[in-house]
Chain A
Amino acid sequence: MIRWGIYAVGTLAAILAALFHSPEVDSVQDSEEFSVWARCDPHSQVSVPQQIWVQVTFGSSSTSPTAIATMSSFGSRGLESRSTTPLWGTPQKGWVAFVFEGPPIEGNYYCQTDWGNKRAHLSYVTHPKIKMYLSLDGQPTTQEMDPALQGSRSILSIPPTPGSTTYQAGAGSAAPYWLEVAIPVYDSPSTSTTMYNEFL
């Protein structure tokens, strides 16, 4: 009985406290509920050349054939890179390859939680008459790019730009790269494919 009496008194006290509580106390409790919090969803914007055009011009001399290749990139990101060093027989007999300075690519990241290095995966739609290779040191390479959006061998590591949300790769950046493009010596004048730039 005594225990039930205590419960009854306690319950009554709680009810009374709820009905006759002080307005000042309510004011304090309300001010604590006003909190400002912003939601910032991580998102990113990537800028790459919309078009990359390689023009190969051959010539002859009494000593050896000559070849000049120009890679021009257009769009929000652009660059012109020239190569006068044809790699005859690369990657196989009947082909010629050129190494170009990679066009700039850029990714802007907002509201991210990890500001470490980003990775960019470069890949391309494989084509019987174009072969593309990713070089990280400007030298000819046998490291062919991955087929479109597959694989993991043609990846760039891109450090963040201090004080910025931007990650840049390519000519003049902290993450330069080179594209090696090979075509058959004997073929139709023009061929095309698609390159993918995927920031991971």
Chain B
Amino acid sequence: MSLIRTISAVGVLALLTMTLGETDFELYTESHAEPSTSAMSVTCVSPGVVAFSPNVAYTISIPAPTTSAFSASSVTATAALTNAVNGDTNPTVSIGTDAGDDAVVLYHRGPYIKIGGVQCSAATTAKLDAYGDGVDDTAYDVSVQETAVSTYQSDNRADNKASGTPLVAFGTGGSVATSNLSDGSDADTYTNGEISFGGASSGGFRLFNRVVYLQANPDTRGETITWVFTPN
């Protein structure tokens, strides 16, 4: 009895084994690849530092006096920018006082000027110096002053300065109280590797022109101001 059962069990097992072998079903889980790596490097190519400033041309009209007393308020002037920076527009010119008996003062918000190309370095601030071309036209003076000031201040003249002893426009002891400007809080409000001055907001200043009443009609005078940006 037990022998027959054993033989029967062996037969069933053999049959099952043969069936498994022929069908060949083995289960595998889905394969996962090993992670592959890519070395990632970023190189910042440090650009050269470049400064931009516009040209400013003024047209001044001085009407013939109708009385013996000349009135500065009768003077009108306009300013036109060329090579404007950051899409700047022509500033509105105001007529100032304290010019003396023989001169008129024009002032307006400073045009945008800027230093670019300070990306990829630790420099985020700049100071600004200004000086003349060494040939001082005594009938035409240019000064850089704070935005809140409406009177001409001869101590802040730039056109009569030399490169070795410039007017410090922005910076410690500068004619404009604003100390070094930081990118991001400057006139363009972006942190983009450019530090801009000018306008009426952060980094703003006023550009004053004192013009002695000219003798010829018409007369043309000019000064060249060199701006020196120094990244910090």
Contacts and interface: CB of A to CB of B under 8 A. Distances in A.
B39 to A, nearest CB: 5
B33 interface: yes
B69 interface: no
A136 interface: no
A21 interface: no
Contacts, number: 185
How big is chain A's contact interface, by range? Answer: 35 or more
B64 interface: no
A75 B190 CA distance: 38
A185 B45 contact: no
Contact of B120 (A10, A45, A189): A189
Contact of B45 (A49, A57, A65, A107): A57
A43 B31 contact: yes
A51 B38 contact: yes
A189 B38 contact: no
Given A62-B52, A62-B86, A186 B36 contact: no
Contact of A190 (B35, B44, B50): B44
Interface of A: 7, 10-11, 14, 32-33, 35, 37, 39, 41-65, 67, 73, 75, 88-89, 93-96, 103, 105, 107, 109, 112-114, 124, 130, 132, 149, 181, 183, 185-200
A191 B41 CA distance: 6
B40 A93 contact: no
B65 interface: no
- Tell me the interface secondary structure of chain A in the complex: strand
Given A96-B192, A194-B38, A186 B119 contact: yes
B83 A54 contact: no
Given A14-B4, A35-B22, A60-B50, A65 B116 contact: yes
Contacts of A56: 42-45, 120
B124 A186 contact: yes
B43 A42 contact: no
Given A42-B28, A51-B39, A189 B33 contact: no
Contact of B40 (A52, A62, A75, A112): A52
Interface string B104-123: 00000000000011111111
B39 A194 contact: yes
A63 B87 contact: yes
Nearest to B27: A113
B32 A199 contact: yes
